């Protein structure tokens, strides 16, 4: 999870923009900065996005250099700010992110997964019509051998369900009258007309299965992110308790005092709480 700068010998040039070299270490720094926002992105796409980020960064930086913005009155102040940010990031990686390990995340996973009862899922299809009489007619046709998918295409008001198919769902995902009727059916059984706010349904259950529990790999990153947040809360609280903090602007101080009175916590030093990191 943390960034470890590679040795110079292991720091190849991965791209050039107008002759300026982008090295692997630059991509690693970019991953440390914006990588947490890409948690759900595939690894191959992640590298592409990081490279695009670095290319755009260099395009803007090069354009700024051409306009001699590095000689402006505010540049040194900006550079000083980013130096403090770099120190903050280095401390965060060393004392917070690196202090959270996979073993701790796995322990939490195993403690919680043991409490989870696997839910039943069913795969069903339905035909939705306006009246009970129409629903009874549909049921009679199905019992007479009519093809369910064909009849759904012809009769059902639910045009989003191809052939009437709803796929797999568990309890809590459908309207209760529909859900109760569906889960009471055996595989292959066709329901009596079921009324919901959408109309009248005829339901057929096609398959039942027990929902698979997530693996550790499925949930590792969110667990580690939460552990990082907890560690950040602990560390920043300790640092605040030892620090001498003076808010000299009276309006900002008043706003902070009011927030403290309301029990609002200050933002954490973590990228999930700070869009700049």
pLDDT tens-digit readout, 227-274: 988 999 999 989 999 999 899 999 998 998 888 888 876 665 554 444
In a domain, 132, yes or no: yes
Q: Is residue 171 part of a domain?
A: yes
In a domain, 84, yes or no: no
pLDDT per position as a tens digit, 45-90: 888 889 999 999 999 999 999 999 999 989 999 999 999 999 998 8
Residue 256 placed within a domain:
no
Q: Is residue 140 part of a domain?
A: yes
Residue after which a domain boundary falls, among 210, 229, 245: 210
* Total domains in the fold of the chain: 2
Whole-structure pTM value:
0.59
Q: Is residue 56 part of a domain?
A: yes
CATH code of residue 149: 3.10.50.40
In a domain, 128, yes or no: yes
Q: Which residues contact 125 (CB under 8 A, 6 or more apart)?
A: 148, 149, 152, 161, 163, 164, 165, 166, 203, 204, 206
CA quadruple 58, 61, 64, 66: dihedral, nearest 10? -50
Q: Which two tokens stand for residue 132?
A: 């009970």
Question: What is the domain extent for residue 167?
Answer: 120-210
Note whether residue 41 is domain-resident.
yes
């Amino acid at each position: 999870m943390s960034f470890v700068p590679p040795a110079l010998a292991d720091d190849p040039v991965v791209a050039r923009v107008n002759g300026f070299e982008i090295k692997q270490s630059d991509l690693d720094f970019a991953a440390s900065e914006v990588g947490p926002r890409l948690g759900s992105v595939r690894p191959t796409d992640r590298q592409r996005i990081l490279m695009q980020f670095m290319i755009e960064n260099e395009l803007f930086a090069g354009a700024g250099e051409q306009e001699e913005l590095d000689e402006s009155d505010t540049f040194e102040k900006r550079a000083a700010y980013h130096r403090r940010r770099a120190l903050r990031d280095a401390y965060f990686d060393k004392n917070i992110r690196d202090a959270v390990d996979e073993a701790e995340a796995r322990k939490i996973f195993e403690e919680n997964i043991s409490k989870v009862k696997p839910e039943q899922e069913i795969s069903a299809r339905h035909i939705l019509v306006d009246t009970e009489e129409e629903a009874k007619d549909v049921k009679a046709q199905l019992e007479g051998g009519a093809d369910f998918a064909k009849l759904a295409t012809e009769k059902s008001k639910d045009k989003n369900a191809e052939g009437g198919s709803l796929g797999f769902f568990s309890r809590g995902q459908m309207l209760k009258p529909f859900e109760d009727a569906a889960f009471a059916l055996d595989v292959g059984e066709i329901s009596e007309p079921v009324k919901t706010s959408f109309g009248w349904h005829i339901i057929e259950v096609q398959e039942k299965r027990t929902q698979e529990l997530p693996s550790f790999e499925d949930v590792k990153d969110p667990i580690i992110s939460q552990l990082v947040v907890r560690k950040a809360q602990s560390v920043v609280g300790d640092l605040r308790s030892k620090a001498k903090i003076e808010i000299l602007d009276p309006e900002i101080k008043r706003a902070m005092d009011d927030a403290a009175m309301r029990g609002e916590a200050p933002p954490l030093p973590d990228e999930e709480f700070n869009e700049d990191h």
